[in-house]
């Protein structure tokens, strides 16, 4: 794939944003225009370029809505939401940059405007959780209350409920599923607005979401599937190991051990001392990582990790990762499970290990660079991921929703006003 940026992370985040074009979240030309305004690896020019684009597209949305062109308004609201999210990507960390909060709120507001114009309208939801409320949406494939197979989507480290719609929510609704997306602890509204940090026992998060789902008339309680995207590739299988009401689970990419993934990127003489080895080596590692954190892209994952986990030092973060493992848990998953990996994605290096540990009905799909799906979360060919994942979900688990041609992605292009 021809790169737009030389910096690997700038390229990955650009592709992530542009890749949502398959679900109405971007226009490739607009994304290329934004890229032309960015100096790499400069977080300020990245923010300015995407924020300016988002504001322009948002203004187009408002103009269309004011004139009664509601389809046009809906389509541009969706793109504006994605661009506002993209803008604050390299600003995340602690202490929280005020622009992260403002941009997060603007992406959420733009998406909610689009959601209200969908056919049928998407419903903002609040899931009771541990004395708090988890923000999300419920999407229906038809304007009725018929119980349908349901997909719950859980995202990753810097995901939002709104972006989950672009990844696979729109594809689910287009196929006739009811779909629920939400921000769990460490994600979206939960971290930005409420300061809730990640927890390894994700079944404690998914349980309340399933409680919410089974109380809804649009949900067939016997056919609830869970999809985990990015770090959700650990969270979803972990949840499935302790939530018996799930009928299927998909991990994209599968993540067996966060610690082992981290160690795979280090020299062997350092990796073997993690997490509780020689104090001198660990202090040295902390110093190296603290220095690395200052780099815009090289330290991005560390800055993000400290923020969403609520820890103070890189070494604290590294040690914490040992809690995020499916050792002794993968065997407890009983529902059919699909594990995915992408050829050039080092985040999913333990995907095959997770697959091998499963004792349930299981399948493995490896996506390749040749089919433009080799990047993280198949960002360059998300439609291909959705095709294969939903084909598996339909045929391997008996989840066979009745397609509704006026729902999902189709309702973003339907002529006329909703």
Number of Cβ within a 10 Å radius of residue 264: 12
Model confidence at 218, in pLDDT bands (50, 70, 90)? very high
pLDDT value for 403: 59
Distance CA 377, CA 359 (A): 25
Alpha-helix residue ranges (DSSP H) falling in 142-200 = 161-164, 170-174, 188-192
pLDDT value for 397: 65
Model confidence at 413, in pLDDT bands (50, 70, 90)? very low
In eight-state DSSP terms, residue 196 is P
pLDDT value for 417: 32
Tell me the pLDDT tens digit for each residue of 53-112. 999 999 999 999 999 999 999 999 999 999 999 999 999 999 999 999 999 999 999 999
Distance CA 227, CA 199 (A): 18
Q: By 3-state DSSP, what share of the chain in percent is helix, strand and coil, each rounded to 5?
A: 50, 15, 35
State mean pLDDT over 408-415: 39
Cis ω for the linkage preceding 346 (within 30 of 0): no
Question: Residue 405: pLDDT above 60?
Answer: no
Question: Residue 290: pLDDT above 60?
Answer: yes
% of the chain surpassing 70 pLDDT: 95
Q: Is 61 a catalytic residue?
A: no
Catalytic choice (23, 168, 230, 407): 230
Q: pTM score > 0.85 for this model? A: yes
Q: Which residue has the tokens 């672009």?
A: 166
Number of Cβ within a 10 Å radius of residue 178: 27
Tell me the pLDDT tens digit for each residue of 349-382. 999 999 999 999 999 999 999 999 999 999 999 9
pLDDT value for 418: 31
State mean pLDDT over 207-229: 97
Across all residues in the chain, what is the average pLDDT? Answer: 94
Alpha-helix residue ranges (DSSP H) falling in 332-381 = 351-357
Tell me the pLDDT tens digit for each residue of 97-126. 999 999 999 999 999 999 999 999 999 999
Q: Is 96 exposed, middle or buried (0-12, 13-18, 19+ CB in 10 A)?
A: middle
pLDDT value for 396: 72
Question: Residue 178: pLDDT above 80?
Answer: yes
Who's near 66: CB < 8 A, 6+ residues apart? none
Number of Cβ within a 10 Å radius of residue 165: 31
Biggest alpha carbon distance in the chain? 67
pLDDT value for 410: 39
Tell me the pLDDT tens digit for each residue of 4-47. 999 999 999 999 999 999 999 999 999 999 999 999 999 999 99
Question: Residue 412: pLDDT above 70?
Answer: no
Distance CA 119, CA 114 (A): 10
Model confidence at 159, in pLDDT bands (50, 70, 90)? very high
Tell me the pLDDT tens digit for each residue of 314-348. 999 999 999 999 999 999 999 999 999 999 998 98
The tokens of 388 are what? 């294969």
């Amino acid at each position: 794939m021809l790169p737009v940026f030389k910096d690997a992370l700038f390229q990955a985040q650009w592709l992530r944003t542009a890749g949502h074009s398959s679900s109405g979240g971007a226009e490739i030309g607009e994304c290329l225009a934004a890229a032309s305004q960015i100096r790499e690896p400069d977080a300020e020019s990245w923010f300015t370029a995407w924020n300016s684009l988002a504001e322009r597209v948002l203004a187009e949305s408002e103009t269309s809505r004011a004139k009664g062109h509601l389809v046009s308004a809906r389509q541009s609201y969706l793109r504006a939401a994605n661009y506002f999210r993209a803008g604050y990507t390299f600003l995340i960390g602690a202490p929280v940059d005020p622009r992260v909060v403002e941009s997060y709120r603007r992406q959420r507001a733009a998406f909610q405007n689009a959601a209200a114009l969908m056919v049928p309208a998407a419903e903002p939801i609040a899931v009771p959780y541990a004395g708090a409320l988890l923000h999300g949406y419920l999407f229906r494939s038809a304007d009725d209350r018929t119980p349908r197979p349901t997909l719950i989507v859980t995202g990753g480290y810097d995901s939002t409920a709104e972006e989950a719609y672009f990844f696979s929510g729109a594809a689910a609704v287009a196929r006739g599923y009811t779909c629920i997306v939400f921000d769990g602890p460490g994600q979206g509204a939960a971290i930005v607005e409420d300061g809730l940090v990640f927890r390894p026992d994700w079944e404690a998060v998914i349980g309340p979401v399933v409680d919410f789902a089974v109380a809804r008339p649009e949900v067939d309680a016997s056919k609830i599937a869970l999809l985990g995207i990015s770090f959700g590739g650990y969270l979803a299988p972990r949840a499935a190991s302790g939530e018996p009401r799930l009928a299927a689970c998909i991990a994209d990419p599968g993540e067996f051990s966060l610690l082992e993934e981290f160690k795979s990127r280090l020299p062997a003489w350092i990796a073997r001392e993690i997490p509780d080895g020689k104090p001198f080596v660990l202090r040295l590692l902390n110093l190296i990582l603290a220095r690395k954190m200052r780099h815009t892209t090289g330290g991005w994952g560390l800055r993000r990790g400290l923020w969403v986990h609520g820890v103070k030092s890189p070494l604290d973060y590294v040690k914490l990762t040992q809690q995020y493992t499916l050792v002794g848990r993968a065997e407890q998953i009983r529902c059919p499970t699909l594990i995915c990996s992408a050829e050039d994605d080092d985040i999913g290096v333990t995907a095959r290990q997770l697959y091998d540990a499963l004792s349930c009905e299981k399948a493995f799909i490896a996506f390749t660079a040749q089919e433009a799906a080799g990047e993280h979360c198949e960002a360059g060919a998300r439609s291909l991921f959705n095709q294969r994942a939903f084909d598996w979900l339909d045929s391997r688990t008996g989840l066979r929703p009745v397609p509704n041609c006026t729902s999902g992605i189709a309702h973003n292009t339907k002529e006329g006003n909703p």
